Amino acid sequence: MVMYRILYLFIFSLYSASACLGQVKVAFFLSPTCTICRFYALEMRDLNSDYSVHGVEFMGYAVGPLLNDSLVNAFREEYQIPFTIIRDDEMHRQLNATVTPEVFVLRNDSVMYHGRIDDSFVRVGKRRAHVKNRELRNTLDRILQGGQVEVDHVPAVGCIIEKN
């Protein structure tokens, strides 16, 4: 838990000093070249729209050996993602993110949830007809209502993050 507290401060100090004012942070690890990330891009945008009005702050970390700023910016513009996305070489290692998309929800100094956004994908290449579980939305709702997070981790389904 101490490691997560240190990482919490590090993650969002990179974003900006003003980002530390809010209590709830959402960090997406993503890759513009991952088809599953492209599928979730509109949901990431909608999550920001639905929850930023409640003080939740969003940040994207683009991972992948072949990424450049142009590719990341084009992804952000194509899907009209309003939050900042930066290229990441270290943060995914420190938080042990393994696939894209993978999300971490932090409140104050603790990781409250990490894993998948929802259960749209059973496995890579196999999508459900209907979403049954929206873990990220459920987590944010519970936190904003002052409740306890029921599930703190559900493995994410996505493109493997290559770790050199």
- CA 151 from centre of chain: 16
Q: Which of 12-16, 90-94, 119-123, 160-164 has the lowest mean pLDDT?
A: 12-16
pLDDT at 35: 93
Q: Which of 5-9, 21-25, 68-72 has the lowest mean pLDDT?
A: 5-9
How far is Cα 111 from Cα 61, in angstroms, rounded to an integer? 16
Tell me how many domains the chain contains.
1
Domain that holds residue 154: 2-14+22-160
121 SS3 class: strand
How far is Cα 148 from Cα 12, in angstroms, rounded to an integer? 23
pLDDT at 107: 87
Question: Global pTM?
Answer: 0.82
User: What mean pLDDT is reported for the chain?
Assistant: 84
pLDDT at 110: 83
- Which CATH number belongs to the domain containing residue 60 in this structure? 3.40.30.10
pLDDT at 127: 80
In the chain, % of residues over pLDDT 70: 85
Higher-pLDDT residue of 98 and 66 is 98
15 burial via Cβ count (<10 Å: 0-12, 13-18, 19+): middle
